[in-house]
Amino acid sequence: MSRDPVPAFDAYKHLNLSINPDGSCTRNFEYPIVVPDPDPSPGKLTASKDITINLETGVTVRIFRPTNLPSNDNTIARLPILIHLHGSGWVLYPANSPANSRGCSQMASELTAIIVSVNYRLAPEHRLPTQYDDALEALLWVKRQAVDKTNGEPWLRDYADFSRCYIFGSSNGANLAFQLALRSLDHDLTPLKIDGSVFYQPFYGGKARTKAELKNFADPVMPVPAIDAMWELSLPKGVDRDHRYCNPVGYLPQKEKVGRLGRCLVIGYGGDTLVDHQQDFVEMLVTAGVRVEAKFDDAGFHGIELVDPRRAVALLNMIREFIN
């Protein structure tokens, strides 16, 4: 007998994906690619530019800077850096999608910060840990800009405060952000300093169904079969959903290393299909001794900030409080 309450559900149809014989997928949807606008003209929230950080893999970052730069005694004030890892369900959207571009622009303007949005490669064409590797490469690239006073990227060299760098991730991007924070401990980032990490609606899972998954099995936003499909397309071949890339409990054997992380903020919603896994993630961080602040609102669902402007403002306010 099936353990799932709704056995008939076409996850790939829900995701608008077709799986090809070679293991790649066809994304059966179109969206406008947002091109960067490097001109900081009055009336615009931000300016943005794309930079290829690896010619071999084609991985790029998009940098957003506020149009209005704060000054102090005629000197431009240095701005915090946010390494931004967007939500894509691992397989769906690149960083230059309209929703992510709009969110990064608003974040740069409202937080008065430099946003470095990582256009990591997507699964299934590139399975985990490729995305973790791409995120780390972006972080190390930012560090190199701090070191190279002559040829460093001007927007970072001239405007960024490298001692105030934060890692932010949404959905599977929060999963990425945690891995990036963990991997950063293996590198000398001087003069770059990670001052904290924000994990928004982190995308985790596990083999055993949780109460929230059973309750929200056919949720219109995050139905469980679609979540299963995203993991099936992104995890390394041969591993199951209890692998640490998916199940945060898998990091407990590394709790000494996890405990060396800096401040963390975890944000979630009670109506999210993934909420139980997110709370397992928080419990894992607490067990490891991390200074973690958890903010869970009983009302709300996965991606609510994309459709409710008030929640988008509330999210920005929480991030602002954390970084200030």
**Amino acid identity, residue 62?**
R
Is 24 an annotated catalytic residue?
no
171 included as an active-site residue: yes
Tell me which residue of 111, 118, 106, 26 sits closest to 63, measured CA to CA. Answer: 118
Given 84, 86, 277, 302, the catalytic residue? 302
Q: 3-state class of 76 per DSSP?
A: strand
First-to-last alpha carbon distance for the chain, in angstroms, is 53
CA-nearest of 159, 198, 210, 238 to 324 is 198
DSSP, res 316: H
| Among 101, 171, 184, 234, the one annotated catalytic | 171
Active site residue 14: no
Torsion, Cα 318 322 323 324, to 10 degrees, reads: 100
Identify the helix (H) or strand (E) that includes residue 170. Answer: strand 160-170
Q: Alpha helix locations (H) across the chain? A: 11-15, 98-111, 130-147, 154-159, 172-184, 211-215, 224-234, 255-258, 275-287, 309-323
> Rounded CA gap, 134 and 223, in Å?
28
Helix (H, G, I), strand (E, B) or coil at 17: strand
Catalytic residue among 134, 219, 272, 280: 272
The residues that are catalytic are 171, 272, 302
